[in-house]
């Protein structure tokens, strides 16, 4: 599990293609501290298992499926990647709960400077639209962010200077794909509703969840 607070901007040192996927070697020096082989590191929001850990780099095997459904398959040597180690029991949960399981690929549309801040617009596929809400959480390239504006095909996020400077958002160009992971709480609510609506007498109803603010009361 992760928080979506990026610890380091690493770089891809090498990519070795294999019949069943690829091995990435990532240059890093912060997330390798205290990390041993077998530990989890999120790379652009994708949970990977660290291998061959050294003070300046780590490797990770990526399956063909992960290469296909995330943006990792489009990385090249020198690509900047967002890195975060898995949380520990003593970690402050400063972002939101991020699993490192990408739900979809979105597209970077534009970044509009507003003083020292940036407004970033991201296009998203319609199948994840039901999980997005205004002021809700979403992970973009592994970064925990809050939706500041929401439309049918895109959402906007406000980026502070710190996030802009220490993540790969500043390297993206219009049309670039990005990894998106929606808030897992929304998925649980959907699952609970699916079960409760098929079970007469259930105390968990759409109306009750609407009263508590979890879902809209409209059908």
DSSP per-residue letters across 34-57? T--TT-EEEETTEEEE-EEEETTE
Contacts of 137 by beta carbon, 8 Å cutoff, 6+ apart: 4, 95, 96, 144, 145, 146, 147, 183
* pLDDT grade for 184, boundaries at 50, 70 and 90: confident
Determine the average pLDDT of the residues in 174-203.
79
- The CATH number that domain 104-183 falls under is 2.40.30.20
Q: What are the sequence ranges of the domains in the chain?
A: 8-85, 104-183, 184-219
- The CATH number that domain 8-85 falls under is 2.40.30.20
- Asked if domains 8-85 and 104-183 share a fold, the reply is yes
Share of the chain above pLDDT 90, in %: 75
| Global confidence as pTM | 0.85
Using the structure block, give the residue that is written with the tokens 């070697």. 25
Share of the chain above pLDDT 70, in %: 88
Determine the average pLDDT of the residues in 3-24.
95
Summarised one tens digit per residue, pLDDT across range 99-143 is 999 999 999 999 999 999 999 999 999 999 999 999 999 999 999
What pLDDT shows up at residue 128?
95
Percent of the chain as helix, strand, coil, to the nearest 5: 20, 40, 40
Determine the average pLDDT of the residues in 35-55.
97
Summarised one tens digit per residue, pLDDT across range 196-219 is 655 665 566 666 666 666 655 444
Closest listed residue to residue 111, CA positions, set 64, 65, 178: 178
């Amino acid at each position: 599990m992760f928080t979506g607070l990026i610890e380091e901007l690493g770089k891809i040192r090498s990519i070795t293609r294999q019949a069943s996927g690829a091995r990435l070697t990532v240059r890093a020096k912060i997330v390798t501290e205290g990390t041993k082989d077998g530990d989890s590191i999120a790379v652009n929001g994708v949970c990977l298992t660290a291998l061959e850990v050294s003070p300046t780099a780590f490797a990770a095997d990526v399956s063909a499926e992960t290469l296909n459904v995330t943006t990792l398959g489009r990385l090249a040597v020198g690509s900047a990647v967002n890195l975060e180690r898995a949380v520990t029991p003593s970690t402050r949960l400063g972002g939101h709960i991020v699993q490192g399981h990408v739900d979809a690929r979105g597209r970077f549309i534009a970044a509009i400077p507003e003083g020292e801040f940036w407004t970033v617009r991201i296009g998203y596929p319609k199948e994840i639209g039901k999980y997005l809400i205004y002021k809700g959480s979403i992970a973009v390239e592994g970064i925990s962010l809050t939706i500041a504006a929401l439309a049918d095909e895109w959402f906007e996020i406000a980026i502070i200077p710190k996030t802009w400077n220490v993540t790969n958002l500043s390297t993206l160009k219009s049309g670039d794909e990005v990894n998106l992971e929606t808030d897992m709480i929304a998925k649980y609510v959907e699952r609970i509703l699916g079960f409760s609506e098929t079970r007469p007498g259930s105390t968990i109803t759409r109306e009750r969840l609407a009263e508590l603010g979890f879902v809209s009361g409209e059908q």
